[in-house]
Structure formats: structure tokens, C-alpha cells
Amino acid sequence: MSDATDVRESTGSLIEWLVPFAFVICAGWAIWHIPAYILDFFPPSDKSLFDQISALHARKDVTPDLPGLFGGHADPIDWAALVLMPILFVIGTRTVRIAHMEFREWRPIDRIALFIGRITMVLIISMTSVMLYEVFMRYVVEAPTLWANELTLWIGGYVFLFAGLYAMQQRCHIRIFLLYDAVPRWLQRTFDIIWVALLVVFAGFLIFGSYYQVFVIKLYKWEMFGTAFDPPIPATVQPMILIVIALVAIQAILNLISDWNLETTVHATSEDIDEDEIEAIKRSVGAE
């Protein structure tokens, strides 16, 4: 059953842009300063590792002149970003509205995936802005940056992951319906159970087999990229892969529950899908 009371015909209000943008800013700041949180919350017992992370934090800290709070390494801005992230996430999930072209049969729990979809849109804008800035600096000013390429790669990794979760919630991931549409609804439900079970098993084994390598070696030791800009891409993207895989599996279970009582599903042809999408885009931009 959809959350029909919260569905509005007009989307794109200012708060729908400001909240995900503010969340991306806070998350970006917090991710860049994770070494400070490691040193304060989970300090390594090994002195060489402690000194290594301390040196990384001192080299990468954006505000090195600010003192740490409570005698630690995280300064007031680091703490503010960390505290604001869950607050902004809750506000974002509460204020998100679906667009005309989005999946209509959604539940309140789907707000999480929908808001992550909005975060993904902001990340795409951010990635495009970085690329345009680099083009301007390289070909107009003739002073290319050392960070634009790696930052674009870093953001692109998050876009790829978050878009997968959003696509799962929207039921727009690639599927083959040739056999699915030819069977009765009870057998369609059986197929749904089988593929969701396979996905959950895959996610479980992937997380179980990669947990130590990703969270202990990559994240906790804060592995960097090894370039001039030297962003922590291995330390941040690889853990996010496991987190998003878990969220995708959970979303697949939610989709199975939400779609259980739907009538027999017969998917339209590619021509009908294109026509519907075009009409949805026209409505979303106010065109006749």
C-alpha cells in the first residue's frame, strides 16, 4: 500500500534541494576527517599505527588551527558535521516527495532509498561541477588541478553505489520478463522469493568474507589512494560497497513484501515504456 497521503503532485521545493545538499557537505567533511574520529573513539593500541593515523590526520586536516574538543583530535566543526548528519538524514526522509516518473506504490520505509536517491542527484551535480572546473582551469587558465580527477572518481564511486539502491527501490534495475510474464501470479511470487533469497545469500557471504579486509585493514588503517591528492578512496568506497549491498538486500525484501498482493504483473513493451516515460517527463516539467 502506498503512502498516498504524502504524495504531492508538485516536487522540487527548496527544502528538497537544501537538505540533501547540506547532508552531502556534512558527510563529505566527516568522511575526510574520519582519522580524527578513529583517534578519539577507537584509538589503535599499536603505537606505530596510532602515529601513522595521527600523521595522516595532521596532513589532511582542513582546519588544523582549531583545537580538538574534549582533549581529542576532532574539532568543533568535525563534531558539528557528525551530529548534523543523522539530523539532516531524518529531515530529508521526512520531507522527500516522489516525482511523477517515480514508482507510485511505495511505503514510508522507502523514504530512506528515496532520500538516498536525492543525495545521488546532488552528487552527480557536484561531480559535474568538479569536471567543469577542471576543464576551465586546464584549458582556459592553463593551471590544471591535482585533485579534480581523483575527486571525480571518488564521487563517481558513491554515485554508482547509491544509484543501485535507488534503482532497486524503483524496480528499474535490469530484469528479463520473458518467462515471468508467461506464468500465473502464484508462480511469479515463487520466482520473487527465489531471486530475493539468492540476493540475500550473496550479500551475506560477500559481507562475511570481506568484513575483516574492508573494515579492519582498509578503513581502520585508513588506506589512501597514493596520488598527489591522495584521497582515502580505498578506505571509504570499499566499506560503502558492503553497506550498500546490505541495504540493497534489505530493499529487495521490502519490495517483495510491498509487491506481494499486487495483481498479475505483465510488463509493457519497450515502445510503451518509452512513451510513458516521455509523458512523465512532460508532466514533471509542466509541459502539455
Question: Tens of pLDDT along 46-88?
Answer: 999 999 999 999 999 999 999 998 889 999 999 999 999 999 9
DSSP H/E element including 237? helix 233-258
- Give me the chain's average pLDDT, please: 88
**Per-residue model confidence (pLDDT) at position 70:** 87
Phi, psi of 220 (to 5 degrees): -65, -35
The residue length of the chain stands at: 288
pTM of structure = 0.86
Between the two ends of the chain, the Cα-to-Cα distance in Å is 30
Instruction: Please give the share of the chain, as a percent, with pLDDT higher than 90.
Output: 71
Which one, of 66, 86, 91, lies nearest residue 76 by Cα?
66
Average pLDDT of 263-287? 62
Worst-scoring range by mean pLDDT, 96-105, 160-169, 194-203, 251-260? 96-105
Largest CA distance in the chain: 67
Q: How far apart are CA 67 and CA 75, in angstroms?
A: 6
Is the predicted pLDDT of residue 1 greater than 70, yes or no?
Answer: no
- Whole-number CA gyration radius for the chain: 22
How sure is the predictor about 282, in pLDDT bands with cuts at 50, 70 and 90? low
**Per-residue model confidence (pLDDT) at position 8:** 45
**Per-residue model confidence (pLDDT) at position 208:** 96
CA quadruple 273, 277, 283, 288: dihedral sign: negative
**Per-residue model confidence (pLDDT) at position 71:** 86
Residue scoring higher pLDDT (180 or 205): 205
DSSP label at residue 267: P
Q: How far apart are CA 150 and CA 139, in angstroms?
A: 18
Worst-scoring range by mean pLDDT, 33-37, 99-103, 208-212? 99-103
CA-CA distances (angstroms) from residue 112 to 86, 91, 109, 187, 261?
Answer: 12, 11, 6, 30, 22
Worst-scoring range by mean pLDDT, 147-161, 177-191, 232-246? 177-191
DSSP label at residue 219: I
How sure is the predictor about 6, in pLDDT bands with cuts at 50, 70 and 90? very low
Is the predicted pLDDT of residue 2 greater than 50, yes or no?
Answer: no
How sure is the predictor about 180, in pLDDT bands with cuts at 50, 70 and 90? confident
Is the predicted pLDDT of residue 274 greater than 90, yes or no?
Answer: no
How sure is the predictor about 175, in pLDDT bands with cuts at 50, 70 and 90? confident
Rounded to 5°, angle at Cα 151 from 145 and 155: 155
